[in-house]
Amino acid sequence: MKILVVGGAGYVGSTSVERFVEAGHEVIVYDNLSSGHRPAVPEGVQLVVGDIADGDRIGSILADGVDAVLHCAARSLVGESMIDPGLYYRTNVSGGVALLESMRAVGVTRLVFSSTAAVYGEPRRVPIAEADRTEPINPYGATKLAFEGAMRWFCAAHDFRAISLRYFNVAGATELNGEDHDPETHLMPLILRVAAGLATHVQIHGQDYPTPDGTCIRDFLHVRDIANAHLLALEATGESDASLEVYNLGSAAGFSVREVVEAARRVTGRAIPARPIKRRVGDPPVLVASSKRARRELGWHPKDSTLEPMLADAWAWHEAHPNGYADHSTDGSGPTPSVQVAARGR
């Protein structure tokens, strides 16, 4: 299979590219490097630097024998989306529709979308199932849901075969690729920054939630398990009828913030001071997605999504790359100012 990965130089996208190559597929990466990194693209994989809204350019790539598309490109910072919702609608919705139009024009109809469980908003029950209500509480989740709607109608009108994968937090690393965001907003890399001596402490937002240790419980999946889900989903689009199928990816249990901190102390052997502060407005006590359907229908089974393997892999990558991808970039090819294509790296 020849696969185009849009946003394939980002954290999740690049790890998926690794998995596809390992499985024997031919891969092309399309990314504007706004939050992706040129060194994250595996050796031997073609990288085309470009904008998701450039339909002619994407169309020319698709017309060269591409069988399927993995779409990992998006703006993905909740806080930023609240400040500049227009940016999120331009990138996540308008840019995504431009991709769909490019695919339709050349007859490529197989698509997997790297979505988010943020489309559910504040859930009424956990673990969250695919049939539960979708009421996002920020533009980030709303734009992801809006693009899913566009996919659904393209499936009906143009015989697309599409799968959307919804999940919460991604963690871990491979030997080649890890998390390198600016700014960094995710819990595990922030904790590891403290372990590395780059920050003095980690903040714990609230310790009086109705959970066993009083801190929030969140879903975490190893990036390798997400990459494998992307591969299984792409393969499934070759066997399905024209439709959009939605699958949650989750651990079914989740981990508390305090559990993550304690596990990081064990893995790194560092003290990692933690300071409790007040709750953040709108933080539910527990956010966990059910993956029963993905396990049953896609045959997906997370193998590495327990705390210590995720943290150990992330810590090994950060120790080997203390300056992130800047350790590999000697030609000034790091992130560029463009904001239209950004591989999600939650």
Task: Assess contact for 8 and 36: CB atoms under 8 A.
Answer: yes
CB of 103 within 8 A of CB of 111? yes
d(CA 249, CA 165): 7
- Look up residue 277 and give its amino acid: I
Q: What are the φ and ψ backbone dihedral angles of 2, each rounded to 5 degrees?
A: -100, 120
Q: Decide if 229 contacts 165 (C-beta within 8 A).
A: yes
- Tell me which residue has tokens 């871990």: 172
Report the alpha-carbon distance of residue 341 to residue 72 in Å, rounded: 9
State how far the Cα of 145 lies from the Cα of 93, in Å rounded to an integer.
9
Q: In this structure, what token pair is assigned to residue 57? A: 């350019």
Find, among 139, 145, 151, 95, the residue nearest to 117 by Cα: 145
- Cβ atoms of 223 and 107 closer than 8 Å: no
Q: Which residues pair with 68 in a beta bridge?
A: 3
Catalytic residue among 140, 167, 247, 325: 140
Could you confirm whether 89 is annotated as catalytic? no
Catalytic residue numbers, as ranges: 140
